Amino acid sequence: MKREIPLLLTGALGLLMILSFFVPHQWISVPADFMQASAIVLVAFGYVLGGANVLRVNFSAIIKQKSGWPYNLVLVLGLIATLAIGAVDGCANRGGFLNEGTTSKWIYDQLYSPMASTMFALLAFYIASAAFRAFRIRTFEAGLLAVAALIVMLGRVPLTNALTTWAPEWMRLQAWQEWIMDVPQNAAKRAILIGAALGVMATGLRVILGIERTYLGAEE
Amino acid sequence: MTLLDRLAHIDRRWIFLAMGILVLIPLLFPLALPIFAGKPVRDFNAAMETIPAGSTVLMPCDYDPGAIPELVPMTKTALRQLWDKNCKVVIPVLWPGGPGLVDRVVREVAAEPRYASKRYGVDWVNLGYKAGNEAVMVLMGQGVANAFPTDFRGTPTRGMPIMAKVRDYSSFPMLVNISAGYPGTKEWVQQVQARFHIPMVAGVTAVSAPEFYPYLQSKQLLGLLGGMAGAAEYEKIRNEKGTATSGMDAQSLAHLFVALCIVLGNVVMRRRVGGSAS
């Protein structure tokens, strides 16, 4: 029964959600809407579990003094401090923990925002280094990919377009770039999207029919 | 040691330094390169122009500070275009790190002299973050105030003047999504545009833009802004000189440098392989 009941629930609720797309009756739509609203509660609990897991993993590393454990300590202290300050600010401002003048707002503006921006900005440096070392053209297909990448990359910026303004419109890099994005890229992307969608549908059916059981923790 | 040998063993910090200088110089001394708007950007602008004046527009801003250079300029320009038409803007945020940033961005635009009359709760509302990704999008279809009973400061949304005529997706003539990834444009297309048939345009990061061209071709997206280039082209169309326009000079040199790195890296590799074979 420990396996049959979850399988039965999954199958019944999966069918209910599929039916809600095709049957516009309140007997179907009301419970389906309730299920979708409930998903938000589950996601919120997921955050709690995620936070608990971060603490568990990092506490373990600190206690065992694994390599780089001071970083784990900073992470744990940062997490606890941010959470506590946010809770206090939220209580004092009826949920408005990001109101002007709060400590949470200061943390967001002065710590979180610059650090997140810095992480993203560092990509430019790593891309340049990776382009030099890792973008190796070993085959004809890799060569095609590299040429397409170079055209798109250069066709997207004003500098190269300014250099080709003398040419007829169809010869400019921007026109080539647009053609690559509109035709070969689009065809490949569409194929990938359709393939992924078919895969999702197949997996969904396997779950509803009880063939796919890995979510129960089983081998099969 | 030949030049190629030196290049083969170049310390990556020299590449970092070159990239840093190439990005910094045009920011200090702008080159003012001409910008030409592509079709997806022109379509974005044209679709925005079709929005009836004075209507209420849904503008989810799904990003966090990592995407500031690309997405904040297009958010500001889109907001100006909407406010110039006296539209009201309802902004949900499905990224936990987003509401504070989005609030700052909207308030910066609202602080401009020509928008001095714009009031929070009347002309715009920041609904803030709600966990649930696609589930939140579907829940908004049953009622926006149901999904967001309070805004991101904890103020009840039902009493706000802007929400008086907002029920569900049928209340909006257009969905303007600015997104940096998941959840974002793909999910808004799949869960909302396809199901509720609301016209939609999107502004996205450069790295994710290719993913949305099929939706653009199928007219599920009526226009698309891709990355800082898209934002700069949009500014060009709207006769603005924002941070995207000034950033394109730096991006031009950075792209050129990356292209040079790819070519040079392959030349070095070929010569070394050729050398070792002989």
Tens digit of each residue's pLDDT (9 = 90 or more) over A151-162: 999 998 888 888
Check B266 against A37: CB less than 8 A apart: no
The pLDDT value given to residue A220: 47
What's the average model confidence in pLDDT over A120-136?
83
CB B226 within 8 A of CB A174: no
Which tokens in the block code for residue B191? 């869960």
| Residue A105: inside a domain | yes
| Residue A71: inside a domain | no
Check B131 against A133: CB less than 8 A apart: no
Check A117 against B259: CB less than 8 A apart: no
Across A22-31, A86-95, B149-158, B179-188, the highest mean pLDDT is recorded for B179-188
DSSP bridge partners of B93: B129
- The H helix count followed by the E strand count for chain B is 12, 7
The pLDDT value given to residue A189: 93
The pLDDT value given to residue B161: 95
| Residue A151: inside a domain | yes
Which residue reads 């396809």 in tokens?
B194
Tens digit of each residue's pLDDT (9 = 90 or more) over A163-203: 888 888 888 888 999 999 999 999 999 999 999 999 999 99
Which residue reads 């889109």 in tokens?
B78
The pLDDT value given to residue B181: 92
Radius of gyration of chain B (CA): 22
**Which residues in chain B are contacts of A131 at CB distance < 8 A?**
258-259, 261-262, 265
Q: Which of A138, A157, A177, A181 to mutate to test the interface with B (most CBs of B within 10 A)?
A: A157
DSSP labels, B189-219: IIIIIHHH---EEEEE-TTTGGGGHHHHHTT
Please list, in sequence order, all residues whose beta carbon lies within 8 angstroms of the beta carbon of residue B26, skipping any fewer than 6 positions away. Answer: B249, B250, B252, B253
What's the average model confidence in pLDDT over B70-95?
96
Check B252 against A158: CB less than 8 A apart: yes
**Closest CA of chain A from B121, distance in Å:** 15
- Considering the domain architecture, whether residues A161 and A196 belong to the same structural domain is answered as yes
Residue A218 has pLDDT above 70, yes or no: no
The pLDDT value given to residue B275: 64
Check B153 against A182: CB less than 8 A apart: no
| Residue A126: inside a domain | yes
Residue B17 has pLDDT above 90, yes or no: yes
CB B78 within 8 A of CB B202: no
Between A135 and A197, the more confident residue is A197
pTM of the model: 0.89
- Considering the domain architecture, whether residues A121 and A145 belong to the same structural domain is answered as no
Tens digit of each residue's pLDDT (9 = 90 or more) over A197-214: 999 999 999 999 989 888
- Considering the domain architecture, whether residues A127 and A143 belong to the same structural domain is answered as no
- Considering the domain architecture, whether residues A62 and A90 belong to the same structural domain is answered as no
Which residue reads 């061209």 in tokens?
B213
Q: What is the bridge-based pairing of β-strands B124-129 and B88-93?
A: parallel
The pLDDT value given to residue A13: 92
Extended strands (E) in chain B = 56-58, 61-62, 88-93, 124-129, 175-179, 200-204, 224-226
Count CA within 13 A, CB hemisphere, residue A96.
14
Check B136 against A146: CB less than 8 A apart: no
| Residue A172: inside a domain | yes
- Considering the domain architecture, whether residues A145 and A127 belong to the same structural domain is answered as no
Helix, strand or coil, per DSSP, at residue B188: helix
Looking at the structure of chain A, the number of domains it has is 3
Q: Among A66-80, A134-148, B161-175, whose mean pLDDT is lowest?
A: A134-148
Domain span including residue A8: 1-66
CB B124 within 8 A of CB B151: no
**Which residues in chain A are contacts of B36 at CB distance < 8 A?**
158, 161, 174
Closest CA to B110 of B93, B99, B92, B123: B123
ipTM of the complex: 0.84
Across the interface, which of A44, A124, A178 has its CB nearest the CB of B254? A124
Tens digit of each residue's pLDDT (9 = 90 or more) over B96-114: 989 999 999 999 999 999 9
The pLDDT value given to residue B276: 62
Helix, strand or coil, per DSSP, at residue B246: helix
The pLDDT value given to residue B86: 96
**Closest CA of chain A from B106, distance in Å:** 15
Between B219 and A129, the more confident residue is B219
Count the Cβ atoms, other than its own, within 10 Å of residue A69: 15
**Closest CA of chain B from A20, distance in Å:** 12
Helix, strand or coil, per DSSP, at residue A51: helix
The whole-angstrom separation of Cα A18 and Cα B267 is 55
Domains annotated for chain B, with CATH where assigned, are 56-247 (3.40.50.10160)
- Considering the domain architecture, whether residues A187 and A144 belong to the same structural domain is answered as yes
Residue A219 has pLDDT above 80, yes or no: no
Closest CA to B200 of B218, B181, B220: B220
The whole-angstrom separation of Cα B153 and Cα A93 is 8
- Considering the domain architecture, whether residues A126 and A152 belong to the same structural domain is answered as no
- Considering the domain architecture, whether residues A172 and A200 belong to the same structural domain is answered as yes
CB B185 within 8 A of CB B161: no
| Residue A78: inside a domain | no
Tens digit of each residue's pLDDT (9 = 90 or more) over B138-188: 899 989 998 999 998 888 999 999 999 899 999 999 999 999 999 999 999
Please give the mean pLDDT across all residues of chain B.
92
| Residue A97: inside a domain | yes
Nearest chain A residue to B14 by CA: give it.
A129
The whole-angstrom separation of Cα B245 and Cα A140 is 37
**Closest CA of chain A from B49, distance in Å:** 24
The whole-angstrom separation of Cα B184 and Cα B224 is 13
Nearest chain B residue to A91 by CA: give it.
B154
What's the average model confidence in pLDDT over B128-145?
91
Check B265 against A136: CB less than 8 A apart: yes
- Considering the domain architecture, whether residues A155 and A208 belong to the same structural domain is answered as yes
**Closest CA of chain A from B178, distance in Å:** 17
CB B65 within 8 A of CB B34: no
| Residue A220: inside a domain | no
